[in-house]
């Protein structure tokens, strides 16, 4: 039996079938209960698991102004008659999460009784209740206020997609890196997935570096964005149109005819072709109308300016998707947002198509700054494939992990498909409202806690757990990316570099 920590009391609104209050049994030198902690008690329906929603201190001595006035005067005789210090007590308000019955976990439908004793939650029963009792799950950290690992079932977590949401600096990328580490450490017999990270700020490249005895370099590949190439022979005319949406139907038909000719020549042994070859063939094509040909060339030259089209894909999709490994597309050096979207669109579609045919392994696509690739108020190049993956990916175990600091700017259609949310600190009221709308399990009380979460603590809610839980994210095993130079150091470095450039310029002109 766990420790007794309180007694249920009557209030103006309880006990009810969903909530109740209790007087906390205080112990000297110890805080017996905190907001967010799980507790348990017996009821007519079975053993009830509940979560503390808030705590209140009260003392009837200080409810009357005249008592307070005498207390402030230091009236010792009055203090001996009215021992104010012994009249203080702590009241907790709790919400029933469910009841453990002979038939399993059920909702509470009957109020608990006043006078019922409250106990600390039994850890084994709590793990079973929350759904964190799996032995081969991914362990993100420990439950807040409980010495209990937050171990989540892999299928429940990833099959219906995940969203990691937080304001800047609250630990969303850190949490995503912890999840990737867990996926990298899975044994073959436990089932391994491929991890692909679209890294917009270079936050994850350290996964490929050794750190204090932990070395994933044999399982982690970093691909620099400047080296990425899209193999033109692998593209259809309709894929070109996807990257240049204003391409007309007649232009697509002309391009399709040109591509057929180049493919035929390639099969006959002439070799692979690139975008320059396509442009040259369109320019010399005498069968198409001049206006159509010129408009098509304008769009092809526009795509050429992105400098990502070649004769072969790099990286090959097999290099991106290997079971138990991670491929990091480091796009931190790519400044053109459209170029980033084209890269994401092409490789995501290819991976998803290969997964649907069983050629690619089950995979998880981690998408940093997801609101840039699937914005809420407009459709961009990458929106279509991300919506497709969000809707259909669960059928093929192709998972999407959305990472964003501005949920309100992220497509509601896509965010609503993420059935598990890992939410760290969010204070923007618009973002909080957007999160609440996307998950019916987030209550007003829970949303209030989200806005005050310390760095490194998260609310996990949705498919992966039976009940919302607050988790202290474990420490990363790999080194965190270093982006934290002080403003002072950056300013000094700039001026030193600038002075050196001036000196070099003077020396050159002499």
* Chain segment 441-498, per-residue pLDDT in tens: 677 767 777 888 888 999 999 999 988 899 999 999 998 877 656 678 888 888 988 8
Arithmetic mean of pLDDT, 262-282: 94
Higher pLDDT, 118 or 499: 118
Give start and end residues of each alpha helix (H) in 214-289.
237-243, 249-265, 275-284
Specify burial of residue 486 (Cβ count, 10 A radius: 0-12, 13-18, 19+): exposed
3-state secondary structure 394-418: HHHCEEEEEEECCHHHECHHHHCCC
Over residues 124-144, the pLDDT tens digits come to: 989 988 989 888 899 999 998
41 has pLDDT over 70:
yes
- Going by C-alpha positions, the residue among 187, 165, 167, 168 that lies closest to residue 176 is 165
Q: Name the pTM for this structure.
A: 0.88
- Calculate the dihedral angle through the C-alpha atoms of 168, 379, 386, 234, rounding to the nearest 10 degrees: -120
Token pair recorded at residue 274: 């690139």
Delimit the domains of the chain by residue range: 4-121, 138-228+314-473, 230-311
40 has pLDDT over 90:
yes
Q: What percent of the chain has pLDDT over 90?
A: 65
- Going by C-alpha positions, the residue among 404, 447, 402, 403 that lies closest to residue 429 is 447
Distance CA(367)–CA(176), nearest Å, equals 10
Token pair recorded at residue 452: 């005050």
* pLDDT-wise least confident of 2-16, 255-269, 410-424, 434-448: 434-448
104 has pLDDT over 80:
no
What local confidence, expressed as pLDDT, does residue 482 receive? 72
What local confidence, expressed as pLDDT, does residue 2 receive? 78
77-86, 243-252, 494-503: which is most confident? 243-252
Q: How would residue 67 be classed by pLDDT, with cut points 50, 70 and 90?
A: low
Distance CA(62)–CA(84), nearest Å, equals 8
Region label for 182, one of left (φ > 0), alpha (ψ between -120 and 50) or beta (otherwise)? alpha
Class of domain 138-228+314-473: alpha beta
């Amino acid at each position: 039996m766990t420790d007794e920590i309180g007694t249920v009391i009557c209030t103006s609104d309880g006990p009810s079938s969903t909530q109740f209050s209790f007087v906390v049994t205080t112990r000297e030198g110890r805080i017996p209960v905190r907001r967010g902690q799980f507790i348990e008690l017996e009821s007519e329906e079975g053993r009830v698991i509940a979560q503390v929603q808030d705590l209140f201190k009260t003392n009837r001595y200080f409810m009357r102004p005249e008592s307070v006035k005498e207390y402030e005067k230091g009236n010792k005789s009055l203090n001996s008659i009215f021992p104010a210090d012994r009249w203080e007590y702590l009241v907790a308000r709790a919400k029933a999460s469910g009841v453990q019955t002979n038939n399993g976990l059920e909702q509470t439908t009957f109020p608990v009784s006043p006078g019922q004793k409250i106990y600390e939650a039994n850890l084994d029963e709590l793990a079973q209740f929350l759904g964190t009792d799996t032995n081969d799950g991914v362990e993100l950290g420990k439950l807040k206020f409980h010495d209990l690992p937050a171990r989540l079932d892999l299928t429940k977590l990833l099959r219906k997609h995940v969203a990691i949401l937080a304001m800047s600096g609250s630990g969303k990328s850190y949490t995503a890196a912890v999840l990737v580490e867990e996926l990298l450490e899975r044994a073959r017999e436990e089932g391994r997935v491929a991890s692909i990270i679209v890294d917009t700020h270079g936050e994850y490249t350290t996964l490929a570096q050794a750190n204090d005895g932990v070395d994933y370099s044999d399982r982690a590949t970093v691909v620099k964005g400047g080296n990425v190439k899209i193999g033109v022979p692998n593209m259809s005319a309709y894929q070109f149109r996807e990257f240049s949406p204003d391409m007309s139907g007649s232009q697509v038909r002309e391009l399709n005819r040109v591509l057929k000719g180049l493919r035929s020549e390639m099969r006959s042994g002439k070799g692979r072709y690139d975008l320059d070859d396509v442009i040259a063939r369109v320019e010399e094509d005498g069968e198409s109308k001049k206006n159509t040909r010129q408009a098509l060339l304008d769009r092809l030259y526009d795509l050429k300016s992105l400098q990502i089209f070649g004769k072969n894909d790099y990286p090959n999709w097999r290099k991106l998707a290997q079971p138990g490994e991670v491929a990091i597309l480091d796009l931190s050096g790519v400044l053109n947002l459209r170029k980033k979207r084209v890269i994401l669109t092409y490789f995501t579609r290819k991976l998803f198509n290969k997964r649907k045919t069983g050629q690619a392994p089950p995979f998880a696509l981690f998408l940093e700054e997801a609101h840039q690739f699937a914005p809420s108020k407009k459709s961009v190049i990458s929106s279509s494939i991300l919506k497709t993956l969000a809707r259909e990916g669960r059928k093929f175990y192709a998972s999407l992990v959305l990472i964003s600091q501005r949920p309100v700017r992220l497509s509601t259609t896509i965010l609503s498909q993420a059935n598990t949310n890992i939410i760290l600190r969010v204070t923007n009221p618009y973002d909080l409202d957007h999160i609440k709308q996307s998950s019916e399990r987030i209550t007003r009380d829970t949303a209030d806690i989200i806005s005050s979460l310390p760095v490194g603590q998260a609310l996990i809610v949705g498919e992966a757990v039976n009940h919302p839980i607050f988790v202290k994210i474990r420490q990363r095993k790999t080194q965190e990316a270093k982006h934290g130079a002080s403003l002072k150091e950056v300013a000094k470095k700039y001026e030193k570099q600038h002075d050196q450039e001036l000196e070099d310029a003077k020396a050159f002109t002499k």
